[in-house]
Amino acid sequence: MRLTTKGRFAVTAMLDLALNEEEKPVTLAGISERQGISLSYLEQLFSRLRRNGLVKSVRGPGGGYRLTKNHHEISVSDIITAVDELIDATQCGGKENCHEGKPCMTHDLWSSLNAKILEYLSGVALSDLVASQREGKEIRFTVRRETSRPAVQVAA
């Protein structure tokens, strides 16, 4: 199981947008240049992000893209699911037919891992990633035991 390029690039592009949108809309050409992601690939990603309500396009001179929500309202899982990325550790894609039409012996283990990954990514907000980039410090995300929500810790 792994996160594909689509999900990684979507998160990277959304972080770039969040970091650069304060004064004016951000162009895909600008993101492409800064992040080394092809313009045509960004167009595909942003079409999906727009359809899912995470970004809006601004037309005309000085146009580009803006986020539709505050940074703290957008989670990494929101971004990944918006571009139709599936994070799935099961061999069967969750269909429970991995072993001769039935769930394999470890199906529940991998399904539980999927749930934990989704829980983790749901608790990491775009604002957390922005803060780590602006502060230039490593931020570690750990799950708080009492709430099962990730806590952000800035490394010294």
Question: Is the residue at 34 inside a domain?
Answer: yes
Confidence tier at 141 by pLDDT (50, 70, 90):
low
Q: What is the dihedral of CA 114, 120, 121, 127, to 10 degrees?
A: 180
Question: Is the residue at 23 inside a domain?
Answer: yes
Supply the pLDDT for residue 104: 79
Q: Are 7 and 81 in contact (CB under 8 A)?
A: no
Q: What is the pLDDT of residues 33-78, one digit of tens each?
A: 999 999 999 999 999 999 999 999 999 888 999 999 999 999 999 9
Structural domain boundaries, residue 44 = 5-86+125-135
**CATH code at position 40:** 1.10.10.10
Q: Give residues with Cβ within 8 angstroms of 66, minimum separation 6.
A: 17, 21, 25, 26, 55, 56, 58
The alpha helices in the chain, defined as continuous H runs, are 5-20, 28-35, 39-51, 76-82, 107-122, 126-135
DSSP code of 71?
G
Question: Is the residue at 131 inside a domain?
Answer: yes
Question: Is the residue at 68 inside a domain?
Answer: yes
**32 or 23, higher pLDDT:** 32
The whole model's pTM is what? 0.81
Q: Are 109 and 116 in contact (CB under 8 A)?
A: no
Question: Is the residue at 9 inside a domain?
Answer: yes
Question: Is the residue at 67 inside a domain?
Answer: yes
Count of beta carbons in the 10 Å neighbourhood of residue 3: 15
* Domain count along the chain: 1
| CA diameter of the chain | 58
Supply the pLDDT for residue 1: 45
Tell me the helices (H) and strands (E) count for the chain, helix number first. Answer: 6, 4
Question: Is the residue at 69 inside a domain?
Answer: yes
Phi-psi group of 50: left, alpha or beta (phi > 0 → left; psi -120 to 50 → alpha; rest → beta): alpha
Q: Which of 8-12, 60-64, 146-150, 152-156 has the highest mean pLDDT?
A: 8-12
Question: Is the residue at 115 inside a domain?
Answer: no
Q: What CA–CA distances, in Å, run from 1 to 74, 79, 91, 113?
A: 24, 18, 9, 10
Supply the pLDDT for residue 36: 97
Q: What is the pLDDT of residues 86-138, one digit of tens each?
A: 777 777 666 777 777 777 788 888 888 888 888 888 989 999 999 989 887 67
Asked if pLDDT for residue 79 goes beyond 60, the answer is yes
